Amino acid sequence: MSQLSIDDIRVLCDAHSKPLELHFQYGTAGFRTLGNTLDSVLFRVGILAGLRSKRLDGKTIGVMVTASHNPEADNGVKLVDPRGEMLEAAWETHATVLANASTTDDFLHALDLFVRNVKIDLSKPSRVVYARDTRPSGVALISSLEDGLKAIGAEARDAGVTTTPILHYLVKAINTKGTKESYGDDSEDGYFKKLSDSFKKLVAGRPKITPLVIDCANGVGAPIAAKLVEYLGESIPLILENTSITTLGALNNACGADFVKTMQKLPPSLVEVLKPGQRACSLDGDADRLMYYYLDDRGYFSMLDGDKIAALVAAFIVDLVKLAGLESTIKVGVVQTAYANGASTRYLAKRLPVKCVPTGVKHLHHAAEHYNIGVYFEANGHGTVLFSPQAQETLANHEPSTPAQSTALNHLVNLTHLINQTVGDALSDMLLVEVVLAHKSYTGVEWNSLYADLPNRLVKVVVSDRNAFRTEDAERRLISPSGLQAKIDELVRRYDGGRSFVRPSGTEDVVRVYAEAILKTQADELAFRVAGLVYDEAGGDPSRRPKEFL
């Protein structure tokens, strides 16, 4: 490592020593745990980000400090690759190895091996852009990150306090600047202009949009949504709630997309705000997840999750492609996981191809890239729409033969600008939903009536070894323990519209059981019967067997 200042790295590494008792794991969401334990990780991620940039000939890499929908005490960090996509999978392992080197000497040894094995030319330039959410621990963690960037000699750009999707946008915009693939101006202002200009074009001539209440989760979505309001002007009235970003303990506390999805009820802070007949949405802590809901005329709460968003958006895009005369050229598809409600899958499958993939954004994003236009949303509200380079070229060059085709074509082109194609983006997705509702003249009730969700239940089963459970068929069937899947199949056959699957958690020693059926009581019963099977099969202590397991 002759072109790195080992002495500088050693001094700074000593100042950011690793807690000996902790093990860190780079997963789908990057590193994520208690914020006060991550000092050494952030320093080392700074070095890794710099090396990633060098390995890619000086392309700009992104680093986002956030723990998304987790409680305020947690924090985390993840890297963003040059096209705004998630870090290449092989480098997740490298990140984990470097983060867990026990001492400075161990770290320097691991670093040397890594640079040699990955064949990094240390003379190459290194560029990194970084940002954080509003968590109190973020300030110190950014300082640790900056020490890592300094140690590796990276040219660093601080994007300040912003949302995860904006950081992804910036990375892609920086790396495509001055090329024919230019994604937009590489600034927050560029992001806001791109979204607001396309939104205004898409809703022009439509009836005036009624006010939308936004639960900002007391997170970074609050100041960013407030800026977006200025750019949108009178095109849509937005009412921002839960904007207390300086109140300790408020972040994601009884508010936000994860609260709404998990509890299936209004955030308490909106009970006095939302009126019967009004719709609202919740962002999560870093504004990459979106959950819609409304009160009907009688004041009853109904939730519109990622499955409902996918159904609304995919059907709209399919209609536009047909109206533009492009259905033989542009193929639209939807990607789901096994957690997608069976009713949504049936609704979509009548209209376009539907693919099921294992849980995790990287699986969804990768599969969506195989379509000309790929739509993916997880039930938790994280998702986006991808337009392939071929689809974008077709839209740019297609000659419409009628005014109706021309209008539909323009709508599709504007959608490519409105949608943040790098990652799930709650604010971009919110505007997308509002466009479709405006075009269809739908209220929340009409949107919700596209299909009726099958009642479902998700149950966690604590096991001693989650690795004993292995799956196939996009996590919908078990291949081990041997014989367990046949027993589950036998149970499922007893219930009308029954479906159930079992998959190990990626982060803790639990197995998750999902079940659905025509009736709520049957979905619950099926879930608890399968949970009981799993508990017994895993050798669970009969004296500690949860009483609800059947």
What pLDDT digit, counting tens, does each position of 44-72 carry?
999 999 999 999 999 999 999 999 999 99
When pLDDT is cut at 50, 70 and 90, the band that residue 454 belongs to is very high
- Cα 250 from Cα 71, distance rounded (Å): 9
Based on the domain organization, do 468 and 431 belong to the same domain? no
Percent of the chain with pLDDT over 90: 93
Give the gyration radius of the chain's Cα atoms: 24
- Work out the average pLDDT over 135-157: 98
pLDDT, tens digit, 9 for 90 and up, residues 275-332: 999 999 999 999 999 999 999 999 999 999 999 999 999 999 999 999 999 999 999 9
Tell whether 503 is in a known binding site: yes
Based on the domain organization, do 329 and 469 belong to the same domain? no
- Apex CA 302: angle with CA 298 and CA 305, to 5°? 165
Joined tokens for residue 497: 């519209």
Q: Does pLDDT of 172 surpass 60?
A: yes
When pLDDT is cut at 50, 70 and 90, the band that residue 360 belongs to is confident
Q: Does pLDDT of 251 surpass 80?
A: yes
Based on the domain organization, do 300 and 374 belong to the same domain? no
- Cα 72 from Cα 249, distance rounded (Å): 6
Tell whether 164 is in a known binding site: no
Based on the domain organization, do 438 and 464 belong to the same domain? no
Based on the domain organization, do 259 and 316 belong to the same domain? no
Residues forming a β-bridge with 393: none
Residues forming a β-bridge with 458: 514
When pLDDT is cut at 50, 70 and 90, the band that residue 5 belongs to is confident
Bond before 267 cis per omega within 30 degrees:
no
- Distances from the Cα of 545 to the Cα of 172, 404, 485, 488, angstroms: 50, 63, 21, 19
- Work out the average pLDDT over 91-119: 97
Closest CA to 330 of 292, 289, 374: 374
Within a domain: residue 173? Answer: no
pLDDT value of residue 494: 97
Active site residue: 68, 137, 144, 196, which one? 68
Say which DSSP state 251 is in.
Answer: T
- Cα 362 from Cα 376, distance rounded (Å): 11
Q: Does pLDDT of 28 surpass 90?
A: no
Based on the domain organization, do 21 and 139 belong to the same domain? yes
- Work out the average pLDDT over 448-466: 93
Q: What is the mean pLDDT of the chain?
A: 96
Tell whether 512 is in a known binding site: yes
Tell whether 165 is in a known binding site: no
Q: Does pLDDT of 1 surpass 70?
A: no
Domain final residue, candidates 448, 479, 510:
448
Under 8 Å between Cβ of 271 and 310: no
Q: What CATH number is attached to the domain comprising 427?
A: 3.40.120.10
Tell me the pTM. Answer: 0.94
Based on the domain organization, do 157 and 10 belong to the same domain? yes
Residues forming a β-bridge with 336: 356
pLDDT, tens digit, 9 for 90 and up, residues 372-426: 999 999 999 999 999 999 999 999 999 999 999 999 999 999 999 999 999 999 9
pLDDT value of residue 240: 99
pLDDT value of residue 6: 87
Tell whether 546 is in a known binding site: no
- Work out the average pLDDT over 347-351: 96
Within a domain: residue 183? Answer: no
Based on the domain organization, do 157 and 200 belong to the same domain? no
Within a domain: residue 175? Answer: no
- Work out the average pLDDT over 179-194: 97
Domain final residue, candidates 408, 431, 448:
448
Tell whether 185 is in a known binding site: no
Q: Is 68 a catalytic residue?
A: yes
- Work out the average pLDDT over 110-138: 97
Domain final residue, candidates 123, 145, 161:
161
Within a domain: residue 169? Answer: no
Based on the domain organization, do 80 and 145 belong to the same domain? yes
Closest CA to 531 of 484, 477, 473, 479: 484
Count of structural domains within the chain: 4
Residue ranges making up the domain that contains 147: 6-161
Within a domain: residue 502? Answer: yes
When pLDDT is cut at 50, 70 and 90, the band that residue 36 belongs to is very high
pLDDT value of residue 507: 64
Based on the domain organization, do 436 and 528 belong to the same domain? no
Q: Does pLDDT of 29 surpass 80?
A: yes
Q: Does pLDDT of 351 surpass 70?
A: yes
Tell whether 506 is in a known binding site: yes
Tell whether 68 is in a known binding site: yes
Within a domain: residue 14? Answer: yes
Based on the domain organization, do 106 and 144 belong to the same domain? yes
User: How would you class 430 by CB atoms within 10 Å of its CB: exposed for 0-12, middle for 13-18, buried for 19 or more?
Assistant: buried
Q: Which amino acid is at 173?
A: A
Within a domain: residue 174? Answer: no
- Cα 206 from Cα 226, distance rounded (Å): 24
Within a domain: residue 402? Answer: yes
Three-state DSSP string of 139-172: HHHHHHHHHHHHHHCCEEEEEEECCHHHHHHHHH
Tell whether 121 is in a known binding site: no
Based on the domain organization, do 136 and 271 belong to the same domain? no
Tell whether 327 is in a known binding site: no
pLDDT value of residue 508: 73
Q: What CATH number is attached to the domain comprising 482?
A: 3.30.310.50
Q: What are phi and psi of 280, to 5 degrees?
A: -150, 170
